[in-house]
Structure 1
Amino acid sequence: MKTQTLFRGTCMAVLLLAFLATGCKKPEMIKSSENTLKSTTSNGVTINSVQPVKSEALLAMQCYNNAFYHQYGTYGPSFKAYYYSDVNQTGRMDFWRQAEAIETLIDAYNINNDVDLKNKMVYLYNGMRDAYGLLWTSNIYNDDVIWGALMCIRAFQITNDGGMKDMAKNNFDMVWNRAWDTNLGGGLWWTTANNTKNACVNAPAAICAMYLYQATGDAAYKTKAKQIVDWMVTKLYVPGTGEVKGAMNAAGVITEGPRTYTQGTFIGACSMLHNSYPSDNYKAMGAKAMDYTKISMCNAQGLLPDEYDTDDCQGFKAIFARWACKFVKDHSYQSTYAAWLNYNAAEAWNYRNSNGLMWGQWWHRTPDNYVNSFETTCGIAMMNGVWLF
């Protein structure tokens, strides 16, 4: 399309200016003394870090859209779109990764208030409706449905579109009705097979429930969020360290260890519950989970881990960035965590490729032919997330 060609040229021109501004050396974030922060890693290494440049955070999102965004037709008076799974445009991202890519776009809009990003968010939401309908009962993965519902309620916060709120509410309610039971003392099952209860469905469901409470005023959602997190605290959270285990099978045996996205969503859920239940220690548990991620999951310099067990894992850091940065902002933890998060954002952008894309290995350069659209959400979410605080 002509508009896509024009945008590609604009994006590449701006990206070239960003490279030229740094000369021939490895590109660094622009530094300003008043934004320089320090934190100390577990082995005593001090991180000197700065908040990344806001214009580059927007540019990172624009370059992502340039590589993967596809607008494919009308949807009533509006349009519809989806993200490709790779730069070769071999097909659309699958359901949950699409929802998470849209959440990354929401992150960028909330920081930059860019009209083009808002329009694309609406068109991508329309694309989800077009592809999957309004109620996702045929999806056996309860976490998939919750990720989609969470995307919808966050989009509603921007547009006040009742259809988005209804999609979030109806799909959350469907998962709650089919997945919550008293086996293992509570918790949501991961799939309709009812074999495991996983952090990856429970923690984001608690976040979604709190947003639904805010949107509807129905206190039952707040109660459900608390039930979910309290169950996680008794079954998956390790109070001495802040580790959040990934899953428990039907026999009550832990089957998965921590991941950045389960740490992040547990942090996000604790953060949102704190104001409603300030005496229940949620903020302290969120901080403990932050500490575990920083001390036990990062390398000696504080860099978040590479997660490559499966291609699903490759986008996990985007989810961690989203909720960790919000936690820092909402509870004024800048002096404790800002330098660490800024360092990760800066390293991701330092190793971008010539198209402005960042893979999940934030310690060496992204190949110019890199194709994975889910993985490349990670750096964008982190770069925009640090602008929350």
Structure 2
Amino acid sequence: MKIPPIAALLLALTMAGCVKKEISDPEKLSTATTTQGVVSAAAVQPVRSEALLAMQCYNNAFYNQYGTYGPSFKAYYYSDVTRTGRMDFWRQAEAIETLIDAYTINNDADLRNKIVYLYNGMRDAYGLLWTSNTFNDDVIWGALMCVRAFLITNDGGMKDMAKNNFDMVWNRAWDNNLGGGLWWTTANNTKNACVNAPAAICAMYLYQVTGDVNYRNKAKMITDWMVSRLYTSATGEVKGAINAAGTITEGSRSYTQGTFIGACSMLHNAYPSANFKAMGQKAMDYTKNNMCNAQGLLPDEYDCDDCQGFKAIFARWACRFVKDHNLQSTYAAWLNYNAAEAWTYRNTNGLMWGQWWRRTPDSYLNSFETTSGVAMMNGVWLF
């Protein structure tokens, strides 16, 4: 579907404030479902212009441009709708990744500018090398954001920031305890999927932008280790963490399923005989059939603030997996259904929280929980 001119869309934003459509609207998206984990073909893709609108509504609520950065500008996302402070480090990086997702689909100049300004805000707030952050996963999320931003802007500073911070984590977090893997924090207590899977993705991107095969090799080392310690071959479940004694301490989450899928997807072409595509598909099936409700709706994951935006990360890599491996007939209806549900239950300001089965409140919302719907709505336009 053709995107309407940007001027018209911005006018709609101004006049309507991203107002939720009435149920009787003819563009109301289908929520028809059948059995567990299987969504009917009637579940259609959201309107593409609304995917851009969803990102703009998010920016209206949370984006703050706060000064100059050399010849450019700097910005950050507020932590919530009260605009009392900035998002914390890793959630800020994931909100920028959501913006990158939206730019990838919409090629909108304003979104591209905001990627640059938000990146400048990260540099301004945290510097170039994040050694003081004891959470290795935080650093990896930031590095992944930087290398993806580099692919859009060709800004060498972004590539250097991604490379230097990935290298720092590798040097302090990889060892042969438990046969390999990256420690979650500098305390070296557990090795978690939330650092290893995104690190494998980041390493593959670094291989692409530097040509250094050592990054590709590290991506495979990380993923092979995850397969040996955290991946359940019989089901496709990706466990969340293993402690130094070799005991699994966390179960599956949507974002670790998603990043494992993303790592498998990126490694497949480099190692076509290593079964990565099949493992990624097994992880997709586990998420669809074992983590969703009877209608195929992804879990809320509202047990802590850090969990509330996990579905954004799943959407990012699951949708790309479908595109890269032409699996639309298997997964498109399911993912489209989730995007449709998120948008159906948006609030007056066009924001979508992570509970896609009831209306998003107009009162308090944080800026991490509201990334999930935006990422899913834009993600389904990859395929």
TM-score normalised by structure 2 residue count: 0.94
Residue of structure 2 equivalent to 1:365: 359
Please state how far the C-alpha of 1:309 moved relative to its aligned partner.
1.4
Q: 1:1-389 maps to which residues of 2 (within 5 A)?
A: 11-15=13-17, 19=20, 24-25=22-23, 29=27, 41-42=35-36, 46=40, 48-389=42-383
Distance 1:8 1:95, change over 3 A: farther
Name the aligned partner's letter for residue 271 of structure 2. Answer: Y
Answer yes or no: is the 8 Å Cα contact 1:41–1:47 preserved in 2: no
CA contact (8 A) 2:353 2:365 kept: no
The Cα offsets for residues 35-69 of structure 1, whole Å up to 9 and x where unpaired, read as x9998643766452111101000000000000000
> For 2:246 and 2:290, how far apart are their aligned partners in 1?
25
**One-letter amino acid matched to 1:148:** G
Residue pair 1:141, 1:190 contacting (<8 A) in 2 also: yes
Deviation of residue 14 (structure 1)? 4.7
Match of 1:50, SS state, is coil
Residue in structure 1 matched with residue 5 of structure 2 by the alignment? none
Deviation at 1:117, TM superposition (A): 0.3
1:268 partner amino acid: G
From the superposition, tell whether residues 125 and 279 of structure 1 become closer, same or farther in structure 2 (CA, over 3 Å): same
**C-alpha contact 2:37 2:288 (8 A) present in aligned 1:** no
User: What's the offset of the Cα at 1:308?
Assistant: 1.1
Deviations 1:106-156, CA, capped at 9 Å, x for gaps: 000000000000000000000000000000000000000000000000000
Unaligned runs of 5+ in 1: 1-6
* Amino acid across the alignment from 1:13: M
Q: Which amino acid aligns with 2:278?
A: A
Find the aligned partners of 2:217 and 2:33 in 1 and give their Cα distance.
37
Query: Per-residue CA shift, 1:341-361, capped at 9, x if unaligned?
Result: 000000000000000000000
Cα 1:29/1:225, change in 2 over 3 Å: farther
The structure-2 alpha-carbon separation of the partners of 1:26 and 1:234, relative to structure 1 and needing over 3 Å to count, comes to farther
Is residue 213–residue 219 contact of structure 1 (8 Å, CA) maintained in 2?
A: yes
Q: Which deviations, in whole Å up to 9, do the C-alpha atoms of 1:59-107 show, x marking residues without a partner?
A: 0000000000000000000000000001111100000000000000000
Separation in 2, partners of 1:278, 1:378 = 31
Q: What residue identity is the alignment partner of 2:167? A: D
Deviations 1:265-324 (A, max 9, x none): 000000000000000000000000000000000001000001011100000000000000
Residues 249 and 48 of structure 1: CA distance in aligned 2, closer, same or farther (over 3 Å): same
Q: Distance in 2 between matches of 1:9 and 1:106?
A: 23
Distance apart, 1:369 and its partner CA: 1.2
Tell me the residue number matched to 1:4. Answer: none
Q: CA deviation at 1:25?
A: 2.2
Classify 1:44/1:126 alpha carbon distance in 2 versus 1 (closer, same or farther; 3 Å).
closer
Call closer, same or farther: CA 1:26–1:231 in 2, change over 3 Å.
farther
- Residues 268/129 of structure 1: CA separation in 2 closer, same or farther (3 Å cut): same
The structure-2 alpha-carbon separation of the partners of 1:61 and 1:319, relative to structure 1 and needing over 3 Å to count, comes to same
The one-letter code sitting in structure 2 at the alignment partner of 1:59 is L
How many correspondences in the alignment?
A: 375
**Structure 2 residues without counterparts, runs of 5 or longer:** 1-8
Aligned CA distance change for structure 1 residues 73 and 230 (closer, same or farther; 3 Å): same
Could you report, residue by residue, the CA deviation over 1:152-206 in whole angstroms, capped at 9, with x for unpaired residues?
Answer: 0000000000000000000000000000000000000000000000000000000
> Secondary structure, in 3 states, of the residue corresponding to 2:309?
helix
Which sits farther off after the overlay, 266-275 or 368-377?
Answer: 368-377
Q: What's the counterpart of residue 6 of structure 2?
A: none
Query: Contact 1:47–1:343 at 8 Å: present in 2 too?
Result: no
What secondary structure sits across from 1:255 in the alignment?
strand
